[in-house]
Structure 1
Amino acid sequence: MSDNKSTANVSTRKARYGMAVDLDRCNGCGACMLACSVENNIPPLPEEADDRKGITWIRVYKASNGDAFPKARTVFVPVLCQQCGHHTPCVSVCPQQAVDVDPATGIVGQVPERCLGCRYCMAACPYHARYFNWWDPVWPKGLEKVLNPAVAPRMRGVVEKCNLCHGRLHAARAKAAADGRREIQADEYRPACVEACPTRALTFGDLNDPASAVAQAAAGQTSFRLLQALGTDSKIYYISKRRWVRDLAERQVSRRKEEAVG
């Protein structure tokens, strides 16, 4: 069965949505970051903001092997919420139950209405993939007319993060129901970053479906997960044929070798 024809039963079958990121394909263009911001109504940063206070649910980092020219090599690493599946750190520390794991999809979601802004989840996240709203959202004049009506903007004082464009899953289920189907096709639900990637470095789907492209990529010999030794059972897999790139997953890269592209 091909990935395009595999299905997810919306009423009975439990999915485990995840992503495979091919680091040998990623060129650091940032299209995924822009698409994410547009899809999820992430406003431009105010002038007084700095990189530490910026919000982008997926951030592309540039890392190097640390060698001098001509042996120097670089890699671009898109980092988003890793969708932990075991002892999810952010869920365990939240006093407001503002973070939850959907048992039907495995998606780690955020409920801004419950968040009190303590930022315990940010401290607990080993991937630094959570962001705090230091300001109320403000858009340049006219841009408020083209916001995504399916995603509510977040107010000042709450934390937010990637939820794999969960709203798109709801839309796909609604379409399936309207068509009289109990199942959604695999290609009916894809996050904005996956659609926007020009090099097809991002593969998305149900990891519980062994026929899916994402499950096959995750099972490959060159796949790995960030900080896998922590045992978070994350659902974001990375792929690279380069050994030094795979080694980055198990050690902390020094700030001297790492910088954010956006």
Structure 2
Amino acid sequence: MPETHSPARPSAPPAVQQGKRTFLQDLVGLATAFGLTAAAAPAAALTLPGTTQPPRRPGMEGKRFGMLVDIRKCIGCQACTVSCSVENLPPIGQFRTTVLQYEIDKPDGSMPAMVSLPRLCNHCEEPPCVPVCPVQATFQRTDGIVLVDNERCVGCGYCVQACPYDARFINHETQTADKCTFCEHRLDVGLLPACVESCVGGARVIGDLNDPGSEINRRMAAHTEGVKVLKPDMKTEPRVFYIGLPDEFVHGVAGQASVRLVSDH
């Protein structure tokens, strides 16, 4: 049985999280005013006028990567978690992707529903982690993949605080920001991310959202009403999509611990 806690810790209201993000952006602006950012970042990555997002850096031309997770097929085996750790070697006890186990009480008193929810970086279209980085170590490629330049990162943790999906952490060994990268080093040579390749139930699919004929687009087209994202109110436009995601999780998932949720319906 998974560890349970009652009641679930609610997510911070969107207005609170937006305020935190604005505060972090103001701090970056202050650093820029003192010449800190300009000194540390290359000219190609400077913020464009009228936007909080710096220009994207080169990626795979013409592509926009996204991932689809079919929760109905996830059996919670943690093969993705293990293969990711073997591939990317984060410190023991820290993970770039996890599968959290949730138990939802049913209002009719019947047996609780058990849900396995894979979590990872959402590689958002409007990633809040990018503009808050004072040294522009966190950046986004033209194909949408969000990465961290560990040679530049100073471990300030601004990006960790700005992420509404709890997808980032400070690596205990490198003391720099760490997270899922969609295994971009594998994608660049035509391989699948470790978590997709090892998924026993075939619950994870990655593909080019710009290609109408890609498998990810075909699957989403077949489940138009059932495709959801986490925390849509944050306006980050996440590019990790879910099929079979219970409504209780759309706005209310927070933290990295297993929780007990009480269904409203």
Query: Is the structural similarity TM-score above 0.5?
Result: yes
Matched, 1:168 2:176: no
CA–CA distance in 2 between the matches of 1:211 and 1:115?
A: 38
Query: Higher relative contact order by CA 8 Å / sep ≥ 6: 1 or 2?
Result: 1
**Contact 1:190 1:205 (C-alpha < 8 Å) held by counterparts:** no
Aligned with 2:89 (options 20, 38, 41): 41
1:64 corresponds to: 103
User: Which whole-Å deviations, capped at 9, do the CAs of 1:62-98 have from their partners, x for residues lacking one?
Assistant: 1222337524101101100000112x11001110101
Question: How many Å apart are 1:250 and its aligned residue?
Answer: 2.2
Aligned with 1:133 (options 167, 171, 189): 171
Aligned residues: 199
Q: 1:253 to 1:106 in 2, by over 3 A?
A: closer
Aligned-residue sequence identity (percent) comes to 36
CA–CA distance in 1 between the matches of 2:134 and 2:199?
A: 36
CA–CA distance in 1 between the matches of 2:184 and 2:205?
A: 16
CA–CA distance in 1 between the matches of 2:242 and 2:214?
A: 16
Question: How many Å apart are 1:198 and its aligned residue?
Answer: 0.6
1:121 corresponds to: 159
Structure 2 residue runs without a partner (length 5+): 1-57
Query: Relative to structure 2, which stretch is displaced further, 34-43 or 111-120?
Result: 34-43
Q: 1:189 to 1:66 in 2, by over 3 A?
A: same
CA–CA distance in 1 between the matches of 2:254 and 2:153?
A: 31
1:226 corresponds to: 230
1:246 corresponds to: 247
Tell me the amino acid that sits aligned with residue 214 of structure 1.
Answer: I
Alignment root-mean-square deviation, CA: 2.2
Structure 1 residue runs without a partner (length 5+): 1-9, 46-53, 137-154, 173-187
SS in 1 for 2:216: helix
1:142 corresponds to: none
Q: 1:12 to 1:94 in 2, by over 3 A?
A: closer
Runs of 4+ in 1 over 6 A off after TM superposition: none
Q: 1:11 to 1:250 in 2, by over 3 A?
A: closer
TM-score normalised by length of structure 1: 0.70
Q: 1:196 to 1:256 in 2, by over 3 A?
A: closer
CA–CA distance in 1 between the matches of 2:252 and 2:149?
A: 32
Matched, 1:198 2:238: no
